[in-house]
Amino acid sequence: MARTATPVTGRLAWPIVAGAVLALAVLVLPLLALVVRAPWADLPALLASSAVLEALALSFGTAILATAICLVLGIPLAALVARAESWATLPRRLLRAAVTVPLVLPPVVGGIALLTLLGRRGVIGEWLDRVFGVTIPFTTGAVVIAQVFVALPFLVFAVEGALRSSDRRTELAAATLGASRWQVFRHVTLPIVAPGVAAGGVLCFTRALGEFGATITFAGSLPGTTRTLPIASYLAMQTDPDEAVALALLLLAVSVVVLLTLRDRWLPGATA
Amino acid sequence: MPRASRPRGAAALAAAALALTLTGCAPTADQPGGSTSPSEPTGAAATGELGEADLTVLAAASLTEAFDALAGQFEQANPGVEVTVSYGGSGALATQVLEGAPADVFASAAEPPMQQVVDAGLVSAPEAFATNTLELVVPAGNPAGVTGLANLADPDLRIALCDPSVPCGAASVELLANEDVTGAPDTLESDVKAVLAKVSLGEVDAALVYRTDVLAGGDAVDGIEVPAAAGVVNRYPIAALTESPAPGAAAAFVAFVTGDAGRETLAAYGFGAP
Protein backbone atom coordinates (compact mmCIF):
# COMPACT_ATOMS: atom_id res chain seq x y z
CA MET A 1 0.00 0.00 0.00
CA ALA A 2 2.65 2.46 1.10
CA ARG A 3 4.86 1.46 -1.79
CA THR A 4 2.26 2.09 -4.49
CA ALA A 5 1.39 5.43 -2.93
CA THR A 6 4.97 6.70 -3.17
CA PRO A 7 5.41 8.81 -6.31
CA VAL A 8 7.96 7.32 -8.69
CA THR A 9 11.05 9.51 -8.72
CA GLY A 10 14.56 9.27 -10.11
CA ARG A 11 15.76 9.21 -13.68
CA LEU A 12 14.11 7.35 -16.53
CA ALA A 13 16.22 4.84 -18.43
CA TRP A 14 18.02 6.56 -21.33
CA PRO A 15 16.18 4.73 -24.14
CA ILE A 16 12.92 6.03 -22.69
CA VAL A 17 14.24 9.59 -22.58
CA ALA A 18 15.63 9.34 -26.12
CA GLY A 19 12.36 7.91 -27.44
CA ALA A 20 10.31 10.56 -25.66
CA VAL A 21 12.45 13.41 -27.00
CA LEU A 22 12.22 12.00 -30.53
CA ALA A 23 8.46 11.58 -30.21
CA LEU A 24 8.11 15.14 -28.99
CA ALA A 25 10.18 16.36 -31.93
CA VAL A 26 7.89 14.47 -34.33
CA LEU A 27 4.89 16.21 -32.80
CA VAL A 28 6.23 19.71 -32.35
CA LEU A 29 8.77 20.37 -35.12
CA PRO A 30 6.29 20.52 -38.03
CA LEU A 31 4.14 23.03 -36.17
CA LEU A 32 7.21 25.02 -35.21
CA ALA A 33 8.26 25.12 -38.86
CA LEU A 34 4.84 26.49 -39.73
CA VAL A 35 5.32 29.32 -37.25
CA VAL A 36 8.87 30.02 -38.49
CA ARG A 37 7.98 29.99 -42.17
CA ALA A 38 4.80 32.05 -41.75
CA PRO A 39 4.74 35.23 -43.83
CA TRP A 40 4.31 37.37 -40.72
CA ALA A 41 4.55 40.73 -42.51
CA ASP A 42 1.81 39.86 -44.98
CA LEU A 43 -0.25 37.92 -42.48
CA PRO A 44 -2.84 40.61 -41.67
CA ALA A 45 -3.49 41.27 -45.35
CA LEU A 46 -3.64 37.55 -46.18
CA LEU A 47 -6.04 36.79 -43.36
CA ALA A 48 -8.25 39.81 -44.02
CA SER A 49 -8.92 38.79 -47.62
CA SER A 50 -12.57 38.16 -48.31
CA ALA A 51 -11.93 34.56 -49.38
CA VAL A 52 -10.31 33.77 -46.03
CA LEU A 53 -13.02 35.50 -44.01
CA GLU A 54 -15.66 33.66 -45.99
CA ALA A 55 -13.99 30.31 -45.32
CA LEU A 56 -13.52 31.21 -41.66
CA ALA A 57 -17.17 32.14 -41.20
CA LEU A 58 -18.31 28.99 -43.00
CA SER A 59 -15.97 26.81 -40.94
CA PHE A 60 -17.10 28.27 -37.63
CA GLY A 61 -20.78 28.23 -38.55
CA THR A 62 -20.77 24.62 -39.71
CA ALA A 63 -18.54 23.39 -36.87
CA ILE A 64 -20.80 25.02 -34.24
CA LEU A 65 -23.90 23.53 -35.85
CA ALA A 66 -22.22 20.12 -36.12
CA THR A 67 -21.22 20.30 -32.43
CA ALA A 68 -24.79 21.15 -31.42
CA ILE A 69 -26.10 18.17 -33.40
CA CYS A 70 -23.40 15.96 -31.87
CA LEU A 71 -24.48 17.04 -28.37
CA VAL A 72 -28.16 16.33 -29.06
CA LEU A 73 -27.46 12.93 -30.64
CA GLY A 74 -24.26 11.97 -28.85
CA ILE A 75 -25.36 12.22 -25.22
CA PRO A 76 -28.17 9.67 -25.65
CA LEU A 77 -25.82 7.39 -27.59
CA ALA A 78 -23.21 7.73 -24.86
CA ALA A 79 -25.85 6.77 -22.28
CA LEU A 80 -26.69 3.71 -24.37
CA VAL A 81 -23.03 2.72 -24.79
CA ALA A 82 -22.46 3.11 -21.04
CA ARG A 83 -25.53 1.01 -20.29
CA ALA A 84 -24.40 -1.62 -22.79
CA GLU A 85 -21.81 -2.76 -20.22
CA SER A 86 -24.49 -5.08 -18.87
CA TRP A 87 -25.35 -6.50 -22.31
CA ALA A 88 -24.22 -9.78 -23.83
CA THR A 89 -20.76 -9.67 -25.39
CA LEU A 90 -21.73 -9.65 -29.08
CA PRO A 91 -24.24 -6.78 -29.16
CA ARG A 92 -22.03 -4.79 -26.79
CA ARG A 93 -19.02 -5.19 -29.09
CA LEU A 94 -21.06 -4.41 -32.19
CA LEU A 95 -22.37 -1.19 -30.66
CA ARG A 96 -18.89 -0.14 -29.58
CA ALA A 97 -17.46 -0.96 -33.02
CA ALA A 98 -20.19 1.09 -34.73
CA VAL A 99 -19.20 4.11 -32.66
CA THR A 100 -15.45 3.53 -33.07
CA VAL A 101 -15.27 2.92 -36.81
CA PRO A 102 -15.71 6.57 -37.92
CA LEU A 103 -12.92 7.42 -35.49
CA VAL A 104 -10.37 5.16 -37.15
CA LEU A 105 -11.70 5.39 -40.71
CA PRO A 106 -9.84 7.59 -43.21
CA PRO A 107 -12.21 10.56 -43.60
CA VAL A 108 -12.18 10.19 -47.39
CA VAL A 109 -13.74 6.76 -46.94
CA GLY A 110 -16.38 8.41 -44.78
CA GLY A 111 -17.03 10.88 -47.59
CA ILE A 112 -17.42 8.10 -50.15
CA ALA A 113 -19.74 6.23 -47.78
CA LEU A 114 -21.87 9.35 -47.26
CA LEU A 115 -22.02 9.81 -51.03
CA THR A 116 -23.22 6.22 -51.52
CA LEU A 117 -25.91 6.81 -48.91
CA LEU A 118 -26.99 10.40 -49.58
CA GLY A 119 -25.66 11.13 -53.07
CA ARG A 120 -28.11 11.67 -55.90
CA ARG A 121 -27.78 8.01 -56.84
CA GLY A 122 -27.30 6.95 -53.24
CA VAL A 123 -29.32 4.45 -51.26
CA ILE A 124 -31.43 7.14 -49.58
CA GLY A 125 -30.38 10.12 -51.69
CA GLU A 126 -31.94 8.74 -54.87
CA TRP A 127 -35.31 8.55 -53.09
CA LEU A 128 -34.91 12.00 -51.51
CA ASP A 129 -34.24 13.45 -54.94
CA ARG A 130 -37.16 11.67 -56.61
CA VAL A 131 -39.80 12.25 -53.94
CA PHE A 132 -38.82 15.61 -52.46
CA GLY A 133 -36.46 17.01 -55.09
CA VAL A 134 -33.83 17.37 -52.38
CA THR A 135 -30.17 16.77 -53.16
CA ILE A 136 -27.70 16.91 -50.33
CA PRO A 137 -24.16 16.87 -51.83
CA PHE A 138 -22.59 20.26 -52.56
CA THR A 139 -24.72 22.02 -49.94
CA THR A 140 -23.66 23.54 -46.62
CA GLY A 141 -25.84 20.86 -45.04
CA ALA A 142 -23.54 18.24 -46.55
CA VAL A 143 -20.56 19.93 -44.85
CA VAL A 144 -22.35 19.68 -41.48
CA ILE A 145 -23.30 16.03 -42.07
CA ALA A 146 -19.69 15.15 -42.92
CA GLN A 147 -18.50 16.94 -39.77
CA VAL A 148 -21.06 15.19 -37.57
CA PHE A 149 -20.01 11.83 -39.02
CA VAL A 150 -16.36 12.29 -38.10
CA ALA A 151 -16.82 14.24 -34.83
CA LEU A 152 -19.64 12.33 -33.12
CA PRO A 153 -17.47 9.50 -31.74
CA PHE A 154 -15.30 12.04 -29.88
CA LEU A 155 -18.34 13.29 -28.00
CA VAL A 156 -19.77 9.84 -27.36
CA PHE A 157 -16.57 8.47 -25.84
CA ALA A 158 -15.93 11.56 -23.70
CA VAL A 159 -19.45 11.48 -22.27
CA GLU A 160 -19.50 7.71 -21.93
CA GLY A 161 -16.26 7.83 -19.93
CA ALA A 162 -17.76 10.43 -17.62
CA LEU A 163 -20.98 8.41 -17.23
CA ARG A 164 -19.15 5.21 -16.37
CA SER A 165 -16.97 6.84 -13.73
CA SER A 166 -19.90 8.69 -12.17
CA ASP A 167 -21.38 7.53 -8.89
CA ARG A 168 -24.66 5.77 -9.58
CA ARG A 169 -25.87 6.09 -5.98
CA THR A 170 -27.05 9.67 -6.44
CA GLU A 171 -29.21 8.53 -9.33
CA LEU A 172 -30.58 5.66 -7.27
CA ALA A 173 -31.39 8.06 -4.45
CA ALA A 174 -33.23 10.39 -6.82
CA ALA A 175 -35.21 7.48 -8.23
CA THR A 176 -36.08 6.30 -4.73
CA LEU A 177 -37.37 9.78 -3.97
CA GLY A 178 -39.85 9.45 -6.84
CA ALA A 179 -38.04 11.09 -9.77
CA SER A 180 -38.94 9.67 -13.18
CA ARG A 181 -36.17 8.19 -15.35
CA TRP A 182 -36.12 11.33 -17.50
CA GLN A 183 -35.98 13.58 -14.40
CA VAL A 184 -33.07 11.57 -13.02
CA PHE A 185 -31.18 11.89 -16.30
CA ARG A 186 -31.95 15.58 -16.74
CA HIS A 187 -31.40 16.80 -13.15
CA VAL A 188 -28.93 14.33 -11.68
CA THR A 189 -26.94 12.45 -14.32
CA LEU A 190 -26.39 15.31 -16.76
CA PRO A 191 -24.99 17.80 -14.20
CA ILE A 192 -22.63 15.12 -12.91
CA VAL A 193 -21.18 14.42 -16.35
CA ALA A 194 -21.17 18.08 -17.43
CA PRO A 195 -17.35 18.30 -17.52
CA GLY A 196 -17.27 15.23 -19.78
CA VAL A 197 -19.91 16.76 -22.02
CA ALA A 198 -17.95 20.03 -22.22
CA ALA A 199 -14.71 18.20 -23.01
CA GLY A 200 -16.44 16.07 -25.61
CA GLY A 201 -18.08 19.14 -27.13
CA VAL A 202 -14.77 20.97 -27.46
CA LEU A 203 -13.00 17.97 -29.02
CA CYS A 204 -15.98 17.52 -31.30
CA PHE A 205 -15.78 21.16 -32.37
CA THR A 206 -12.06 21.07 -33.15
CA ARG A 207 -12.46 17.83 -35.09
CA ALA A 208 -15.36 19.33 -37.07
CA LEU A 209 -13.36 22.49 -37.72
CA GLY A 210 -10.45 20.46 -39.11
CA GLU A 211 -12.57 18.12 -41.22
CA PHE A 212 -11.25 17.85 -44.78
CA GLY A 213 -11.42 14.45 -46.46
CA ALA A 214 -15.08 13.62 -45.97
CA THR A 215 -16.08 17.20 -46.75
CA ILE A 216 -14.23 17.56 -50.06
CA THR A 217 -15.46 14.14 -51.15
CA PHE A 218 -19.09 14.51 -50.10
CA ALA A 219 -19.72 18.26 -50.13
CA GLY A 220 -17.31 19.50 -52.80
CA SER A 221 -15.67 22.89 -52.66
CA LEU A 222 -17.50 26.12 -53.46
CA PRO A 223 -16.48 29.41 -51.84
CA GLY A 224 -19.05 30.52 -49.28
CA THR A 225 -21.05 27.30 -49.49
CA THR A 226 -18.80 24.32 -48.90
CA ARG A 227 -15.20 25.60 -49.02
CA THR A 228 -14.14 25.42 -45.38
CA LEU A 229 -10.79 26.63 -44.01
CA PRO A 230 -8.96 23.31 -44.41
CA ILE A 231 -10.12 23.02 -48.03
CA ALA A 232 -9.22 26.65 -48.75
CA SER A 233 -5.81 25.97 -47.22
CA TYR A 234 -5.31 22.88 -49.39
CA LEU A 235 -6.29 24.74 -52.56
CA ALA A 236 -4.14 27.74 -51.69
CA MET A 237 -1.16 25.39 -51.57
CA GLN A 238 -1.53 25.00 -55.36
CA THR A 239 -1.15 28.66 -56.20
CA ASP A 240 -0.10 30.68 -53.18
CA PRO A 241 1.85 28.70 -50.56
CA ASP A 242 2.10 31.84 -48.40
CA GLU A 243 -1.65 32.00 -48.16
CA ALA A 244 -1.78 28.28 -47.41
CA VAL A 245 0.69 28.73 -44.55
CA ALA A 246 -1.33 31.70 -43.24
CA LEU A 247 -4.53 29.64 -43.28
CA ALA A 248 -2.79 26.70 -41.64
CA LEU A 249 -1.50 29.03 -38.95
CA LEU A 250 -5.03 30.30 -38.36
CA LEU A 251 -6.34 26.75 -37.92
CA LEU A 252 -3.44 25.94 -35.61
CA ALA A 253 -4.13 29.05 -33.51
CA VAL A 254 -7.81 28.16 -33.17
CA SER A 255 -6.96 24.61 -32.08
CA VAL A 256 -4.41 25.80 -29.53
CA VAL A 257 -6.78 28.39 -28.08
CA VAL A 258 -9.52 25.78 -27.80
CA LEU A 259 -7.18 23.34 -26.04
CA LEU A 260 -5.91 26.03 -23.66
CA THR A 261 -9.45 26.86 -22.62
CA LEU A 262 -9.83 23.25 -21.53
CA ARG A 263 -8.88 22.57 -17.95
CA ASP A 264 -6.56 19.66 -17.38
CA ARG A 265 -9.38 17.63 -15.91
CA TRP A 266 -11.27 17.95 -19.19
CA LEU A 267 -8.52 16.55 -21.31
CA PRO A 268 -9.00 13.03 -22.61
CA GLY A 269 -7.54 10.48 -20.26
CA ALA A 270 -8.29 12.58 -17.21
CA THR A 271 -12.00 12.03 -17.69
CA ALA A 272 -11.89 8.27 -18.02
CA MET B 1 2.99 -8.17 -10.94
CA PRO B 2 0.96 -7.56 -14.11
CA ARG B 3 1.27 -3.82 -13.42
CA ALA B 4 5.02 -4.06 -13.86
CA SER B 5 4.81 -5.82 -17.20
CA ARG B 6 2.39 -3.37 -18.76
CA PRO B 7 4.66 -0.34 -19.11
CA ARG B 8 7.40 -2.57 -20.46
CA GLY B 9 5.04 -3.84 -23.14
CA ALA B 10 4.07 -0.30 -24.03
CA ALA B 11 7.69 0.76 -24.29
CA ALA B 12 8.46 -2.20 -26.53
CA LEU B 13 5.53 -1.24 -28.73
CA ALA B 14 6.71 2.34 -28.97
CA ALA B 15 10.21 1.16 -29.82
CA ALA B 16 8.83 -1.13 -32.51
CA ALA B 17 6.81 1.74 -33.96
CA LEU B 18 9.90 3.91 -33.95
CA ALA B 19 11.93 1.21 -35.65
CA LEU B 20 9.21 0.88 -38.28
CA THR B 21 9.23 4.62 -38.89
CA LEU B 22 12.99 4.69 -39.20
CA THR B 23 13.26 1.74 -41.55
CA GLY B 24 10.34 3.16 -43.50
CA CYS B 25 12.37 6.32 -44.09
CA ALA B 26 15.65 4.66 -44.87
CA PRO B 27 15.07 3.44 -48.45
CA THR B 28 13.99 6.88 -49.69
CA ALA B 29 16.92 8.52 -47.99
CA ASP B 30 19.30 6.10 -49.64
CA GLN B 31 17.70 6.41 -53.04
CA PRO B 32 20.38 8.64 -54.62
CA GLY B 33 22.17 5.31 -55.17
CA GLY B 34 20.23 5.35 -58.42
CA SER B 35 22.13 8.44 -59.48
CA THR B 36 25.38 6.63 -60.08
CA SER B 37 24.03 3.55 -61.79
CA PRO B 38 23.04 5.08 -65.15
CA SER B 39 26.64 6.08 -65.85
CA GLU B 40 28.03 2.83 -64.56
CA PRO B 41 28.60 0.08 -67.07
CA THR B 42 26.20 -2.71 -66.30
CA GLY B 43 26.96 -6.31 -67.01
CA ALA B 44 23.49 -7.67 -66.39
CA ALA B 45 21.84 -8.85 -69.59
CA ALA B 46 18.40 -7.79 -68.33
CA THR B 47 19.43 -4.15 -68.01
CA GLY B 48 19.23 -1.72 -70.91
CA GLU B 49 21.64 1.06 -71.82
CA LEU B 50 20.11 3.38 -69.24
CA GLY B 51 21.04 0.92 -66.53
CA GLU B 52 19.08 0.66 -63.31
CA ALA B 53 17.09 3.72 -62.41
CA ASP B 54 13.94 4.63 -60.53
CA LEU B 55 12.23 7.52 -62.26
CA THR B 56 9.61 9.58 -60.48
CA VAL B 57 7.38 11.53 -62.83
CA LEU B 58 4.98 14.21 -61.59
CA ALA B 59 2.18 14.56 -64.14
CA ALA B 60 -1.04 16.55 -64.44
CA ALA B 61 -4.16 14.60 -63.49
CA SER B 62 -5.48 14.82 -67.05
CA LEU B 63 -2.47 12.78 -68.21
CA THR B 64 -3.35 9.79 -66.00
CA GLU B 65 -4.33 7.24 -68.66
CA ALA B 66 -1.81 8.41 -71.28
CA PHE B 67 1.14 8.48 -68.88
CA ASP B 68 0.25 5.12 -67.36
CA ALA B 69 0.60 3.75 -70.89
CA LEU B 70 3.74 5.77 -71.69
CA ALA B 71 5.42 4.70 -68.45
CA GLY B 72 4.73 1.06 -69.27
CA GLN B 73 6.13 1.43 -72.80
CA PHE B 74 9.23 3.23 -71.53
CA GLU B 75 9.89 0.52 -68.93
CA GLN B 76 9.57 -2.14 -71.60
CA ALA B 77 12.00 -0.36 -73.89
CA ASN B 78 14.47 0.21 -71.05
CA PRO B 79 14.82 -2.86 -68.84
CA GLY B 80 16.02 -1.91 -65.39
CA VAL B 81 14.22 1.41 -65.36
CA GLU B 82 11.19 1.71 -63.13
CA VAL B 83 8.83 4.62 -63.67
CA THR B 84 6.52 5.81 -60.93
CA VAL B 85 4.03 8.49 -61.92
CA SER B 86 2.37 10.71 -59.34
CA TYR B 87 -0.72 12.52 -60.64
CA GLY B 88 -2.32 15.67 -59.30
CA GLY B 89 -3.37 19.21 -60.06
CA SER B 90 -0.51 20.88 -61.96
CA GLY B 91 -0.33 23.70 -59.43
CA ALA B 92 -0.06 21.26 -56.52
CA LEU B 93 2.66 19.35 -58.36
CA ALA B 94 4.57 22.57 -59.07
CA THR B 95 4.43 23.36 -55.35
CA GLN B 96 5.77 19.89 -54.60
CA VAL B 97 8.71 20.49 -56.94
CA LEU B 98 9.38 23.89 -55.36
CA GLU B 99 9.30 22.26 -51.92
CA GLY B 100 11.93 19.78 -53.02
CA ALA B 101 9.92 16.65 -53.77
CA PRO B 102 12.36 13.98 -54.99
CA ALA B 103 11.26 13.76 -58.62
CA ASP B 104 12.90 13.49 -62.03
CA VAL B 105 10.35 14.74 -64.55
CA PHE B 106 7.49 17.24 -64.38
CA ALA B 107 4.63 17.31 -66.93
CA SER B 108 2.17 20.16 -66.47
CA ALA B 109 -1.25 20.75 -68.06
CA ALA B 110 -0.44 24.40 -68.74
CA GLU B 111 2.46 26.80 -68.92
CA PRO B 112 2.01 28.83 -65.66
CA PRO B 113 2.80 25.98 -63.22
CA MET B 114 5.83 25.01 -65.33
CA GLN B 115 6.93 28.65 -65.41
CA GLN B 116 6.97 28.71 -61.58
CA VAL B 117 9.39 25.81 -61.63
CA VAL B 118 11.49 27.40 -64.40
CA ASP B 119 11.67 30.67 -62.43
CA ALA B 120 12.98 28.77 -59.44
CA GLY B 121 15.74 27.35 -61.64
CA LEU B 122 14.60 23.76 -61.05
CA VAL B 123 14.17 22.86 -64.73
CA SER B 124 15.64 24.20 -67.92
CA ALA B 125 14.02 24.38 -71.36
CA PRO B 126 10.60 22.76 -70.96
CA GLU B 127 9.21 21.32 -74.18
CA ALA B 128 5.57 21.35 -75.30
CA PHE B 129 4.43 17.79 -75.97
CA ALA B 130 0.63 17.88 -76.27
CA THR B 131 -2.44 20.07 -76.43
CA ASN B 132 -5.90 19.62 -75.06
CA THR B 133 -9.25 21.38 -75.29
CA LEU B 134 -12.32 21.42 -73.10
CA GLU B 135 -15.55 19.56 -73.67
CA LEU B 136 -18.89 19.45 -71.88
CA VAL B 137 -19.40 16.19 -70.06
CA VAL B 138 -22.65 14.77 -68.69
CA PRO B 139 -23.57 11.49 -67.00
CA ALA B 140 -24.37 8.70 -69.48
CA GLY B 141 -27.75 9.32 -71.08
CA ASN B 142 -27.64 13.05 -70.26
CA PRO B 143 -30.45 12.93 -67.64
CA ALA B 144 -30.70 16.72 -67.35
CA GLY B 145 -30.92 17.27 -71.11
CA VAL B 146 -27.86 19.50 -71.35
CA THR B 147 -27.31 20.88 -74.84
CA GLY B 148 -24.53 23.45 -74.64
CA LEU B 149 -22.40 25.84 -72.63
CA ALA B 150 -25.44 28.02 -71.83
CA ASN B 151 -26.74 25.28 -69.52
CA LEU B 152 -23.78 25.91 -67.22
CA ALA B 153 -25.48 29.16 -66.17
CA ASP B 154 -28.58 27.30 -64.95
CA PRO B 155 -28.69 27.46 -61.13
CA ASP B 156 -31.14 24.54 -61.06
CA LEU B 157 -28.57 22.19 -62.54
CA ARG B 158 -25.79 20.64 -60.50
CA ILE B 159 -22.56 21.76 -62.11
CA ALA B 160 -18.93 20.98 -61.36
CA LEU B 161 -15.95 22.93 -62.68
CA CYS B 162 -12.23 22.84 -61.97
CA ASP B 163 -11.04 25.48 -59.51
CA PRO B 164 -9.58 28.47 -61.40
CA SER B 165 -6.27 27.81 -59.64
CA VAL B 166 -5.67 24.68 -61.75
CA PRO B 167 -5.18 24.70 -65.56
CA CYS B 168 -8.54 23.12 -66.46
CA GLY B 169 -10.25 25.71 -64.25
CA ALA B 170 -8.36 28.61 -65.81
CA ALA B 171 -9.32 27.30 -69.25
CA SER B 172 -12.96 26.94 -68.14
CA VAL B 173 -13.05 30.55 -66.90
CA GLU B 174 -11.60 31.72 -70.23
CA LEU B 175 -14.03 29.65 -72.30
CA LEU B 176 -17.08 30.82 -70.35
CA ALA B 177 -15.92 34.44 -70.57
CA ASN B 178 -15.40 34.10 -74.33
CA GLU B 179 -18.97 32.87 -74.69
CA ASP B 180 -20.47 35.37 -72.22
CA VAL B 181 -21.75 32.60 -69.98
CA THR B 182 -21.84 33.24 -66.23
CA GLY B 183 -21.26 29.80 -64.80
CA ALA B 184 -23.27 28.64 -61.77
CA PRO B 185 -20.99 25.92 -60.41
CA ASP B 186 -21.95 23.93 -57.31
CA THR B 187 -18.40 22.83 -56.69
CA LEU B 188 -14.92 23.85 -57.84
CA GLU B 189 -12.70 20.79 -57.70
CA SER B 190 -8.95 20.72 -57.23
CA ASP B 191 -8.22 18.65 -60.32
CA VAL B 192 -9.96 17.54 -63.48
CA LYS B 193 -10.25 13.90 -62.42
CA ALA B 194 -12.24 14.95 -59.35
CA VAL B 195 -14.64 16.78 -61.66
CA LEU B 196 -14.93 13.73 -63.91
CA ALA B 197 -15.62 11.50 -60.89
CA LYS B 198 -18.54 13.72 -59.84
CA VAL B 199 -19.99 13.30 -63.33
CA SER B 200 -19.42 9.51 -63.51
CA LEU B 201 -21.15 9.16 -60.15
CA GLY B 202 -24.11 11.13 -61.47
CA GLU B 203 -23.73 13.66 -58.67
CA VAL B 204 -23.63 16.57 -61.12
CA ASP B 205 -25.61 17.17 -64.32
CA ALA B 206 -22.82 18.78 -66.31
CA ALA B 207 -19.18 19.76 -66.09
CA LEU B 208 -16.30 21.02 -68.17
CA VAL B 209 -13.35 18.65 -68.51
CA TYR B 210 -10.74 18.01 -71.18
CA ARG B 211 -11.84 16.03 -74.19
CA THR B 212 -9.27 13.41 -73.20
CA ASP B 213 -11.13 12.97 -69.91
CA VAL B 214 -14.40 12.37 -71.73
CA LEU B 215 -12.63 9.53 -73.55
CA ALA B 216 -11.14 8.26 -70.29
CA GLY B 217 -14.56 8.40 -68.62
CA GLY B 218 -15.77 5.59 -70.88
CA ASP B 219 -19.38 4.44 -70.76
CA ALA B 220 -20.23 6.28 -67.56
CA VAL B 221 -20.20 9.67 -69.27
CA ASP B 222 -21.23 11.33 -72.53
CA GLY B 223 -19.36 14.21 -74.12
CA ILE B 224 -20.94 17.20 -75.82
CA GLU B 225 -18.55 18.98 -78.15
CA VAL B 226 -18.35 22.73 -77.75
CA PRO B 227 -17.23 24.48 -80.95
CA ALA B 228 -15.93 27.50 -79.03
CA ALA B 229 -13.60 25.23 -77.03
CA ALA B 230 -11.23 25.17 -80.00
CA GLY B 231 -10.36 28.76 -79.09
CA VAL B 232 -9.01 27.83 -75.66
CA VAL B 233 -6.11 25.46 -76.03
CA ASN B 234 -4.02 24.12 -73.15
CA ARG B 235 -0.39 23.45 -74.01
CA TYR B 236 1.30 20.75 -71.93
CA PRO B 237 5.00 21.29 -71.21
CA ILE B 238 7.35 18.60 -69.92
CA ALA B 239 10.85 18.95 -68.49
CA ALA B 240 13.48 16.96 -66.62
CA LEU B 241 14.31 18.43 -63.21
CA THR B 242 17.84 19.73 -62.92
CA GLU B 243 18.25 18.08 -59.52
CA SER B 244 17.15 14.68 -60.77
CA PRO B 245 19.39 11.95 -59.32
CA ALA B 246 19.03 10.09 -62.64
CA PRO B 247 19.50 12.80 -65.29
CA GLY B 248 20.19 10.36 -68.11
CA ALA B 249 17.00 8.38 -67.62
CA ALA B 250 14.98 11.56 -66.99
CA ALA B 251 16.15 13.11 -70.27
CA ALA B 252 15.45 9.83 -72.06
CA PHE B 253 11.90 9.78 -70.71
CA VAL B 254 11.28 13.37 -71.85
CA ALA B 255 12.67 12.50 -75.30
CA PHE B 256 10.43 9.43 -75.41
CA VAL B 257 7.28 11.41 -74.56
CA THR B 258 8.05 14.18 -77.06
CA GLY B 259 9.17 11.69 -79.74
CA ASP B 260 7.12 9.89 -82.35
CA ALA B 261 6.16 6.90 -80.20
CA GLY B 262 5.07 9.17 -77.36
CA ARG B 263 3.07 11.40 -79.65
CA GLU B 264 1.30 8.38 -81.11
CA THR B 265 0.27 7.16 -77.68
CA LEU B 266 -0.86 10.63 -76.63
CA ALA B 267 -2.93 10.93 -79.81
CA ALA B 268 -4.58 7.60 -79.02
CA TYR B 269 -5.76 9.11 -75.74
CA GLY B 270 -7.18 12.16 -77.52
CA PHE B 271 -4.36 14.68 -77.07
CA GLY B 272 -3.54 17.05 -79.90
CA ALA B 273 -0.05 17.63 -81.30
CA PRO B 274 1.84 20.57 -79.75
Q: How confident is the model at residue B46 (pLDDT cuts 50, 70, 90)?
A: low
- Residue A220 and residue B201: Cβ atoms within 8 Å? no
What 3-state DSSP class applies to B29?
helix
Q: How confident is the model at residue B92 (pLDDT cuts 50, 70, 90)?
A: confident
Assess if residue B116 is contained within a domain: yes
Residues B117, B157 within the same domain: no
Residue A227 sits at the chain B interface (C-beta within 8 Å): yes
Residue B211 pLDDT exceeds 60: yes
- Residue B203 and residue A121: Cβ atoms within 8 Å? yes
Residues of A with Cβ-Cβ distance to B14 under 8 angstroms: 19, 23
pLDDT of residue A5: 53
Contact A141, A149 (CB under 8 A): no
Q: Show Cβ contacts of residue B169 under 8 Å, excluding neighbours closer than 6 positions.
A: B161, B162, B163, B188
Assess if residue B32 is contained within a domain: no
Assess if residue B14 is contained within a domain: no
**Of A62, A58, A40, residue with least CA distance to A50:** A58
**Of A161, A246, A150, A159, residue with least CA distance to A205:** A150
This complex has an ipTM of: 0.76
- Residue A138 and residue B18: Cβ atoms within 8 Å? no
Domains detected in chain A: 50-266 (1.10.3720.10)
Residue A23 sits at the chain B interface (C-beta within 8 Å): yes
Residues B126, B241 within the same domain: yes
Contact A145, A218 (CB under 8 A): yes
Residues B123, B55 within the same domain: yes
Give A1→chain B minimum CA distance, Å: 14
Residues B243, B183 within the same domain: no
Assess if residue B19 is contained within a domain: no
What 3-state DSSP class applies to B39?
coil
- Residue A237 and residue B92: Cβ atoms within 8 Å? yes
B positions 189-208 inside 8 Å of A (CB): 189-190, 198, 201-204
Residue B12 pLDDT exceeds 60: no
Average pLDDT over residues B252-271: 95
Structural domain of residue B183, as residue ranges?
134-231
Residues B187, B239 within the same domain: no
Among candidates A19, A226, A234 on the partner chain, residue whose Cβ is nearest the Cβ of B15: A19
- Residue B188 and residue A227: Cβ atoms within 8 Å? yes
- Share the mean pLDDT of chain B: 84
Q: What is the 3-state secondary structure (H, E, C) of chain A?
A: CHHHHCCCCCCCCHHHHHHHHHHHHHHHHHHHHHHHHCCHHHHHHHHCCHHHHHHHHHHHHHHHHHHHHHHHHHHHHHHHHHHHHHCCHHHHHHHHHHHHHHHHCCHHHHHHHHHHHHCCCCCCHHHHHHHHCCCCCCCHHHHHHHHHHHHHHHHHHHHHHHHHHCCHHHHHHHHHCCCCHHHHHHHHHHHHCHHHHHHHHHHHHHHHHHCCHHHHHHCCCCCCCCCCHHHHHHHHHHHCHHHHHHHHHHHHHHHHHHHHHCCHHHCCCCCC
- Residue A119 and residue B163: Cβ atoms within 8 Å? no
Q: Among the listed ranges A122-131, A261-270, B87-96, which one has the minimum average pLDDT value?
A: A261-270
Residues B139, B227 within the same domain: yes
Residue B43 pLDDT exceeds 50: no
Residue A106 sits at the chain B interface (C-beta within 8 Å): no
pLDDT of residue A81: 94
Average pLDDT over residues B62-72: 94
The radius of gyration of chain B from alpha carbons, rounded to an integer in Å, stands at 23
CATH at B55: 3.40.190.10
What pLDDT digit, counting tens, does each position of A238-271 carry? 777 788 888 999 999 888 888 787 655 455 544 4
Residues B56, B172 within the same domain: no
Q: How many domains does chain B have?
A: 2
What 3-state DSSP class applies to B58?
strand
Residue A64 pLDDT exceeds 90: yes
Assess if residue B250 is contained within a domain: yes
Assess if residue B114 is contained within a domain: yes
Residues B212, B151 within the same domain: yes
Residues B57, B113 within the same domain: yes
Residue A2 pLDDT exceeds 50: no
Residue B18 sits at the chain A interface (C-beta within 8 Å): yes
Residues B80, B213 within the same domain: no
Give A226→chain B minimum CA distance, Å: 8
Residue B209 pLDDT exceeds 80: yes
Query: B224 has which bridge partners?
Result: B136
Assess if residue B273 is contained within a domain: no
Residues B171, B205 within the same domain: yes
Q: Show Cβ contacts of residue A114 under 8 Å, excluding neighbours closer than 6 positions.
A: A142, A145, A146, A149, A214, A217, A218
Assess if residue B216 is contained within a domain: yes
Residue B16 sits at the chain A interface (C-beta within 8 Å): no
Residues B56, B124 within the same domain: yes
